[in-house]
Amino acid sequence: MTKSEQRKKGIQKFTEVMGFEPPEVEDPFFDATLEHLFPNVWGRGELSRRERRLITLTVLMSLGHEPTLRLHLNAATQSGDLSDKDIDELILHVTHYAGWPVGALASGLARQMRAQR
């Protein structure tokens, strides 16, 4: 697959996963995101998109990375991959393994996200 084909596949997968088209920016990190992460990781068939979302959200919660967690929580609900109840269960489960502050951050973001809808 050529770099151009890889990027096109990455843009398609990004749009499917995140719910919006990626911005057009010239940046080596974002190039790798579109040309590797989305086509070669999110695009693999071994796990479902829902399973990948649960894994991604767990890692983002554990790292406490609020902006990216917010982005992925919104994408998970907008796509229909996860319901509000699914997210609540995920937060409760991860909280018991990753710590109460991790759960408090994620729970607060989930409440904000719901209020904005």
Q: For the beta carbon of residue 103, count every other beta carbon within 10 angstroms.
A: 19
Q: Give the model's pLDDT for residue 3.
A: 74
Q: Give the model's pLDDT for residue 8.
A: 93
Q: Where are the domains of the chain?
A: 3-42, 49-116
CB 84 within 8 A of CB 106: no
pLDDT of residue 1 exceeding 80, the answer is no
pLDDT of residue 66 exceeding 90, the answer is yes
pLDDT tens-place string over residues 70-108: 999 999 999 999 999 999 999 999 999 999 999 999 999
CB 110 within 8 A of CB 91: yes
Q: Would the pTM of this model clear 0.85, i.e. be above it?
A: yes
Q: Give the model's pLDDT for residue 105.
A: 96
pLDDT of residue 41 exceeding 80, the answer is yes
- What's the CATH class of domain 49-116? mainly alpha
pLDDT tens-place string over residues 4-20: 888 999 999 999 999 99
Q: How far is CA 75 from CA 27, 44, 72, 80, in A?
A: 23, 19, 5, 8
